[in-house]
Amino acid sequence: MCGIAGFYTREKLAEKKNILKRMNDKLSHRGPDGEGFYSDDLISFSHKRLAIIDLNERSNQPFKDKENNYILTFNGEIYNYIEIKNLLIERGFSFNTTSDTEVLLNSYIYWGEKLLQKIKGMFAFAIYDKKKKKIFCARDHFGQKPFFYYFKDGNFIFSSEVKSIKHYLKEIEINHSSVDEFFARRFIPAPNTIYKNIKKLDKNTILELDLSQNIYTCKKYNKSINKKIIKKTNYKKEIKRKIEETVEKHLIADVPISLMLSGGVDSSILAKVCKDIGADITSYTLATQKDKLNPDQDYLYAKLVSKKLDIKNKFIYVDKVKDFEIIDIIKYLDDPYCDPAFISSAILLKEISKNYKVALSGDGADELFYGYHSYQKIASQKFPLKNKLDLSYLYLFSFRIKKIINYFEKNYKNNYTYNYYGVPLNVLSKIFKREINLNPPLPNNPNQENSRNYDLDVNLPDYYLNRLDKAGMKNSVEVR
């Protein structure tokens, strides 16, 4: 896990290297173990490194091939890099490092964009392809790693964080449609940010900048999924096998790995699998002093799981968070974001960072296995009639009024935004005195399946995974 940045411009910048250095400095928390730079007449790339695999300086970035035709700056992990490396060796490639970085670059050299059908991991990267005179960028399939970019007047700028891009720009404007998105969802989904012209590269997306024509295009690469029919009698064994296989790959690192143990089902399963495959892992749980006397369910389960599995677990007790601590935490957010769990995650990961660079998390399992209660609520037909009552202002002050408004509203958009985000869309429109149009649009006639798929497409990458990336990187911890 690292921080990446760079830009392409035909302008004659007297301080190009200094600008790149200052952009990179804004990402210091993402990679305290090293930094690197590449710059020529057109392209400037930088990198902040958090060393996880192949700790040697030979794997520092930006990473070049032997002929200096391809330059890579890469944030993330490729979990199946050993298998891909063996395939490339069979095809005549040789390697000077034991890193996944070199594997990623050689994969591009051999397969081009088809490499995205082969790699498994979390990633955001940019490759300067001198032969084809282009910059090739991509973000992982689920959107675990961030990639922000700006393109205007022939200038292309990218980074792991908006604050780094803002350092390059002389002026920026607020995107008011993104403000609507924030109040409706509590976050801003890709491809937009709170600023005009600064975009998020969506998950599962390629961005190519043609340096000859000075234009860029974005397209989905749609990683092919091999569907497999499993007999009902075998599906539990198959799911167990896939989880064990995945966890084992996530444990590949040249540094020790920890676990964020909440006491919930997902992190408890991770703890059990780690124990079963013989991983020496320490788990961390956030709690309060009150939990010692009057423990809640999560606290009890975390204690029970760690005792049952005989794993080392550290409870981090936090009762109060001071104002200046909250300010210090939220300044690492690039966009408006409303989830108190970001603060608790950052506090927990700060403790983890004292001994570990990597932490496993169970986030994403609810989306895969239909774990949220909201799926059942959204699919329910128990919200009849239509809303003719203008109770939108009272909604802000009374939970009962909230329930009444929702009860008399049949429109699925209001149902969805109420049950998932907490605010019926019609109420927000009345408060703002204008129609609120969400982009991406909400699923039509939502049921459990398309609501889950919408989660995977929109809510997971820019709400839940965004929280983990920012909270982890604030503390120089890679969250897997």
Q: Please return the burial class of 67, using the count of CB atoms within 10 Å of its CB with bins 0-12, 13-18 and 19+.
A: exposed
Structural contact between residues 43 and 81, judged by C-beta atoms closer than 8 angstroms: no
Q: Which residues pair with 158 in a beta bridge?
A: 6, 149
- Distance set, CA 53 to CA 48, 87, 349 (Å): 14, 19, 20
The token pair that represents 13 in the structure block: 């910048």
Rounded Cα distance, 196 and 314, in Å: 44
Rounded Cα distance, 472 and 339, in Å: 15
Rounded Cα distance, 439 and 420, in Å: 16
In the Cβ-directed half-sphere of 20, how many Cα atoms lie within 13 Å? 25
| Amino acid in the structure at residue 170 | K
Cβ-proximal residues to 235 (8 Å cutoff; 6+ apart), any chain: none
Cβ-proximal residues to 111 (8 Å cutoff; 6+ apart), any chain: 118
Angle, alpha carbons 318-323-325 (nearest 5°): 60
Shortest CA distance to 4 belongs to which of 27, 21, 32? Answer: 27
Q: For 310-454, where are the alpha helices, taking DSSP H only?
A: 323-330, 341-352, 365-368, 373-379, 392-395, 399-407, 412-416, 425-432, 448-454
Shortest CA distance to 349 belongs to which of 334, 359, 340? Answer: 359
Q: Which residues pair with 219 in a beta bridge?
A: 206
| Amino acid in the structure at residue 25 | D
3-state SS of the chain: helix, strand, coil percent to 5? 40, 20, 40
Query: What are the residue numbers of the active site?
Result: 2
> How do beta strands 478-479 and 358-360 pair?
parallel
Rounded Cα distance, 219 and 480, in Å: 26
- DSSP class per residue in 54-96: --SGGG-SSEE-TTS-EEEEEEEEETTHHHHHHHHHHTT---S
Helix, coil or strand: residue 206: strand
